[in-house]
Amino acid sequence: MTIRYFRFAQAEVLAAVKVYCAQCDELSRQAVALAKAFDAKPVYQTGVSGRSFYGIKFAAPLASELWTKASKQTAGCQFPRRRARASLRNELADIRDRWDALKPTMKPDLDAVWKACGTDWGVLILSGVGYVITPDAFYVGTSTCLTKGEEITGGQYEKASSGVKV
């Protein structure tokens, strides 16, 4: 499939992108608060439908009966265990209480952005998609034709993704 590139600068699209970015900022604030409580770094999942908090990653993986093992499948993240031996139950309960109280609830959603662009993530997931957000435009690379956007060259898309003013 041939990738086509589009630029969206319409007010409706930029307003939806602004809301999405504000939601991402709030997610980051919540995730950083959780990570700081455990002296770790937050890890996120980003996809065609939006962004979400995944877990936390410690500088050096903890070998503990209180945390799950870090692995490639979890992107190096560790999570509080569900159970611990009797002598560690109180400590695990404290960790789980802090985790549950601080775990981010915000899940930024791109649905409004895709709707403003004249499509939805269901179409894009089948055709592949990449996007770049700049202060003055929203850029999309996909094999789907997006009639509401201005078709641009791959070079313009690359410039936008590298931070160069297009």
What b-and-e string marks burial along 136-164, b requiring 16 or more CB atoms within 10 Å of the CB?
Answer: ebbbbbbebebeebeebeeebbebbbeee
Closest CA to 55 of 69, 45, 66, 63: 45
Q: What is the pLDDT of residue 165?
A: 59
pLDDT (average), residues 96-100: 96
Closest CA to 66 of 29, 32, 99: 99
Query: What is the distance between the alpha carbons of residues 141 and 130, in angstroms, rounded to a whole number?
Result: 5
Please classify residue 62 by burial: count the beta carbons closer than 10 Å to its beta carbon, then call 0-12 exposed, 13-18 middle and 19+ buried.
middle
pLDDT tier, 166 (very low <50, low <70, confident <90, very high otherwise): low
Closest CA to 47 of 118, 154, 130, 112: 130
User: In the predicted model, is pLDDT for residue 20 greater than 80?
Assistant: yes
Q: What is the pLDDT of residue 164?
A: 65
Q: What is the pLDDT of residue 63?
A: 73
pTM across the whole model: 0.88
Q: What is the pLDDT of residue 127?
A: 85
Residue 149 DSSP one-character state: S
Interval 109-126: pLDDT, tens: 999 999 999 998 888 888
User: In the predicted model, is pLDDT for residue 1 greater than 90?
Assistant: no
CB 81: neighbour CB atoms within 10 A? 16
Interval 31-74: pLDDT, tens: 999 999 999 999 999 988 899 999 999 999 887 899 999 999 99
Q: What is the pLDDT of residue 124?
A: 87
Residue 74 DSSP one-character state: T
Q: What is the pLDDT of residue 123?
A: 84
pLDDT (average), residues 137-162: 92
Closest CA to 53 of 41, 65, 63: 41
Sequence spans of domains, the chain: 4-18+109-162, 37-102
